[in-house]
Structure 1
Amino acid sequence: MDLKTPIVELSNVSKIYNKQIWALKKIDLKIYRGECVSLLGSNGSGKTTLLRIIGNNLKNTTGTINYNLEEENILKGIGLQKREQAWPNGFKVKDINDLWIRIYDVNDLEWINKLKDVFGVNEVEEKYLNKLSIVKLQIYAIFLSFISKPELVLIDELSSDIDFKYEEKITNFFKEYLEEGNTLILNSPSYYFLENLTDRVVYLNDGEIFEDLSIKEVKKEYKSVMEYTKAIFKEELVVEKKIKNKSKFFSTMISKTEGYSNVLQAIIEQLEAQENCNEKVLSRLKEVYFSILDLNTSIDNLSVSYINADSIKIISKKIKLTMKLINKLTINYRYKKYHKTLSGIEKFLSKELKRTFANDKVIVNGDVLSITMSQSEKKQLEKLKEKYIKEEQKIIRRKILKQQFKKQKDMKSKNNPVQESLKEVTTDENK
């Protein structure tokens, strides 16, 4: 087993949809044995497309991909967990287990039992797949990706909603798997997995590799993964700043989300300074911190780019995700000390931002945009709209009356040619 030879190498790989949409642009990337690589970047940056292409699940448009697997059958050598989990009715978990074991011709029952224990499959074997929660389905899909004992596993979704007990089990299993010379690629893992597993981060922006750094390089330059993530969000924003159409509505949202992220950062730094710091509490607070930071970046991006329905939907989803993370903390006794801060953030998200990106649509610079407004601002806006509409109606009425008058005048001239001739003579005499 040669650890220096890339297990997979991409050269000039691009993916173009419908002959015009570039999902990936000329990617050059080497992934080595024994390393865990985390793909980072905002929604739509090309992470899932890259993951599926490496996983031999999607064909690239241009470029070459070379695999150096010991397993001749590439389908057995690569394990891929897909984000979408739609199973037909009537299938139990144990039915799919048996099917996968037969497909991959797996005879190592010790390996299967180990996987079942790590991913909690024993607990759900008799349940129907369409009855499992989204998180359970995600974990089950990871379980399936490991059945064939692959050398390279790609995970599209490693949720922050995974229970503490499984989080630790899965992390330890991944570490063992990597120590045996296998390779993991994770798409936007939760902070817990990012901090405890990742050897290298590849940051994508608009289909291109924006940065490729080892964790050692990250810590040397940024001191921590948290600081790196915060900095890279800003770097990405600088790249995307092409059109400047800032508005006071956006400024309010941005300043508030920035304020909350700063408060959480201060709490996190205080916890890290403590000798007997509770790692799980710290990890969960960091999840909320990064979620708010991501939300802040998305709103800031929206304020400097063209607005469309998709960008509004993305922010709405991020608001819901952040609220979900906070709600999980506020019902847990471990976080009682931070309830006031977390409740304040949750109130801002639910009372202002969530409503904002669902209603109150107005036109800003030619785009439909949802904005945060006070009741007085809403009334003022309605008055302006009303006034504008009345002015427009006046102009339209004047135009219609003018056209009708001209038409009547032309009709009279046609019906009375003698009178028109006399007018012309009179006009000539006056001259």
Structure 2
Amino acid sequence: MKENTPIVELSNVSKIYNKEVWALKKIDLKLYRGECVSLLGSNGSGKTTLLRIIANNLKNTTGTINYNFEEENILKAISIQKREQAWPNGFKVKDINDLWIRIYEMADLEWINKLKDVFGVNEIEEKYLSKLSIVKLQVYAIFLSFISKPELVLIDELSSDIDFKYEEKITNFFKEYLAAGNTIILNHPSYYFLENLTDRVVYLNDGEIFDDLSIKEVKKEYKSVMEYTKSIFKEELIVEKKLKNKSKFFSTMNTKTEAYCNNLQTIIEELENQENYNEKVLNRLKEVYFSILDLKTSIDNLSISYINKTSIKIISKKIKTTIKIINKLTINYRYKKYHKLLNTIEKFLTKELKRTFANDKVIVNGDVLSITMSESEKKQLEKLKEKYIKEEQKNIRRKILKQQFKKQNEVKLKTAVNQTSANEEIHDEI
């Protein structure tokens, strides 16, 4: 097989849900042996959908996908780490290990032991899966994805909360795996993996490929991955801002998040210029920076679009994630100057933003901006309206009949009274 032959090639690939929602739009993408590609983009941009389609776990609506693996069995050639981890109760880690080894008929115990060491599986083998933390489950899922020795590994989540000693082990293992001619695709990896592993970045925006650049091209044009990420967020906003003016309601939070991003960038640059800086702390600080930058982008996007339930939930989730990252960093960070800034940011996120986006609606200038309803919700509302109208019609009919009955009785009573009076008059005359 020629080296320049793509291991996977996507041509004009699209994914459409419910015949109207475009998750991916006409994707052309080539993946090569020995490269690590990082997919970037905000939530809902199509990254996970693209991963699942490449992994042959989700059928594309249009387009073609060609695979050029040495392994004939595509289930062994491709492996994907799934974000969702729902294991049956009562299963220990070692039970799933044995099951996976039997499924893929893996007799290479040296390989299995190496994987266990890299991903820390030896430490948790006797533990129940239901008792593991989310981060450990994510790392364990990556371990499982490597058992079959696939030629292409797709990793949907590489958490920033992974222990530092395992970050280094995993990075070195990935580098060895890539050097052997295999391919790895990372979905929005943490800054550490983005900086230390990635050969190429593919940036998705609204289901389309916005950028496809090698790390060399990124550094040549933008000097650093951080500057590139900051730049593409801005370019995305410029396009959208032309469509509609920003809401004044969001201007304060936009200004604050931008100021915090700038302050954090200054701190990061100061630390990088120090001779003996703490690399772990620096990387965690960069995670905070990127998390707030991503949050700012989501708020900017919301400020120029219609407020809906999904967008608010996305922002709420990002706020919680950012607070979690800051809390973890402030525990380990001892410099008062930076500690104070992080506390200020956390206070802003917790007391202002979290409360603002806590519900499925946002109050602007005293008026409530309601959420956008789905089609099913609209149909249900229409049915309720129809039912309400019918009930009201029945009530109106009852009132009319009641009034008619009352009038009829009044007429009858009046007639009876008149008749009684007439009879009395006749009786008097007699």
Q: Distance in 1 between matches of 2:284 and 2:247?
A: 33
Note if contact 1:241-1:305 (Cα within 8 Å) is conserved in structure 2.
no
1:295 maps onto 2:295 in alignment: yes
Residue 122 of structure 1: aligned partner: 122
Q: Is the 8 A contact 1:13 1:60 kept in 2?
A: yes
Cα deviation digits, residues 295-328 of structure 1 (max 9, x gap): 1111111111111011111111111111001000
Paired residue secondary structure (2:265)? helix
Report 1:223-302 matches (<5 A).
Answer: 223-241=223-241, 243-302=243-302
In structure 1, the partner of 2:20 is 20
2:8·2:31 contact (CA, 8 Å) conserved in 1? yes
C-alpha deviation, 1:338, in angstroms? 1.7
Q: Is it true that 1:106 corresponds to 2:106 in the alignment? A: yes
CA distance in 1, matches of 2:336, 2:242: 43
Indicate conservation of the 8 Å contact 1:244/1:303, yes or no. no
1:362 is aligned to: 363
State the shift of 1:201 in Å. Answer: 0.3
- 1:268-321: per-residue Cα shift (whole Å, max 9, x none)? 111122233322221111100011111111111111111101111111111111
TM-score by length of 1: 0.83
Distance across 1 between alignment mates of 2:64 and 2:247: 45
Q: Distance in 1 between matches of 2:335 and 2:8?
A: 43
Could you tell me which residue of structure 2 aligns to residue 191 of structure 1? 191
Tell me, in whole angstroms, the C-alpha distance in 2 between the residues paired with 1:361 and 1:213: 38
What amino acid sits opposite 1:328 in the alignment?
K
AA paired with 1:73?
N
Change (3 A) 1:197 1:19: same
The 2-side partners of 1:144 and 1:337 are apart by 42
Please say which structure displays the higher CA radius of gyration: 2
Q: Kindly provide the amino acid, as one letter, of the partner of residue 162 in structure 2.
A: I
Match of 1:378?
none
List aligned pairs for 1:327-338, cutoff 5 A: 327-333=327-333, 337-338=337-338
Match of 1:396 in 2: none
Contact 2:101 2:147 (8 Å CA) reproduced = yes
* Structure 1 residue 243, shift from structure 2 partner: 4.4
Measure the CA separation in 2 of the matches of 1:100 and 1:260: 46
Please tell me the residue identity of whatever aligns with 1:107: A
1:244 Cα offset (Å): 2.4
- Runs of 4+ off more than 3 Å: 333-337, 363-367
Q: How far apart in 2 are the matches of 1:225 and 1:249?
A: 32
Paired AA for residue 88 in structure 2: P
C-alpha separation between the residues in 2 aligned to 1:64 and 1:241? 34
Task: Describe how 1:38-53 pairs up with structure 2 within 5 A.
Answer: 38-53=38-53
Residue 370 of structure 2: SS of its match in structure 1? strand
Q: Any idea what the Cα deviations from partners look like across 1:160-201, whole Å, max 9, x if unmatched?
A: 010111111111110111111110000000000000000000
2:77 match: 77
Tell me how far 1:356 sits from its aligned partner: 1.3
Letter in 2 for 1:124: I
Paired amino acid for 2:70 = E
* Partners of 2:181 and 2:246 in 1: CA distance: 50
Task: String of CA shifts for 1:57-77, please: whole Å, max 9, x gaps.
Answer: 111111111111111101001
Contact 1:92/1:129, CA 8 A, preserved across alignment: yes
Letter in 2 for 1:317: K
Report the 3-state secondary structure (helix = DSSP H, G, I; strand = E; otherwise coil) of the residue aligned with 1:30. strand
Q: Which ranges of structure 2 fall in alignment gaps of 5 or more residues?
A: 372-406, 412-430
CA distance in 1, matches of 2:86, 2:335: 35
Sequence identity, in percent?
A: 84
In structure 2, what is the equivalent of residue 212 of structure 1? 212
In 2: Cα distance, 1:288 partner to 1:298 partner: 15
Give structure 1 stretches of 5+ with no counterpart: 370-410, 416-431
Q: 1:9: how far off?
A: 0.3
TM-score, normalised by the number of residues in structure 2: 0.83
Residue in 2 that maps onto 1:58: 58
Q: CA deviation at 1:336?
A: 5.2
Structure 2 distance, partners of 1:368, 1:331, is 39
Computed over aligned residues only, the root mean square deviation of the Cα atoms, in angstroms, reads: 1.9
Structure 1 residue 242: Cα displacement: 5.6
In the alignment, the residues of structure 2 paired with residue 77 and residue 329 of structure 1 have an alpha-carbon distance, to the nearest angstrom, of: 39
Q: Is the 8 A contact 2:93 2:126 kept in 1?
A: yes
How big is each residue's C-alpha offset from its partner over 1:88-109, in whole Å with a ceiling of 9 and x where there is no partner? 1111111111111011010100
Structure-2 residue corresponding to 1:93: 93
- Amino acid of the residue matched to residue 24 of structure 2? L
Matches of 2:336 and 2:133, distance apart in 1 = 27
**C-alpha distance after superposition, 1:362-400 (max 9, x if no partner):** 36798338xxxxxxxxxxxxxxxxxxxxxxxxxxxxxxx
CA distance in 2, matches of 1:353, 1:366: 16
Do 1:254 and 1:296's aligned partners in 2 also have CA atoms closer than 8 Å? yes
Whole-angstrom CA distance in 1 between matches of 2:207 and 2:291 = 22
- Distance (Å, rounded) in 2 between the aligned partners of 1:46 and 1:99: 32
Which residue in 2 is equivalent to 1:169? 169
Instruction: Rate the CA distance shift 1:133–1:49 in 2: closer, same or farther, 3 A.
Output: same
Query: What secondary structure does 1:331 align onto?
Result: helix
What is the number of residues matched between the two proteins?
Answer: 372
| Alpha-carbon distance between aligned partners in 2 of 1:217 and 1:336, rounded to the nearest angstrom | 38
2: distance between equivalents of 1:56 and 1:27? 15
Contact between 1:82 and 1:155, CA under 8 Å: does it hold in 2?
A: yes
- How much does 1:347 deviate? 0.8
Per the alignment, residue 178 of structure 1 pairs with 178
Aligned 8 A contact 1:243 1:305 in 2: no
CA distance in 2, matches of 1:149, 1:217: 31
3-state SS, counterpart of residue 160 of structure 1: coil
Taking structure 1 as reference, are residues 235 and 89 closer, same or farther at Cα in structure 2, changes over 3 Å only? same
Structure 2 distance, partners of 1:173, 1:15, is 33
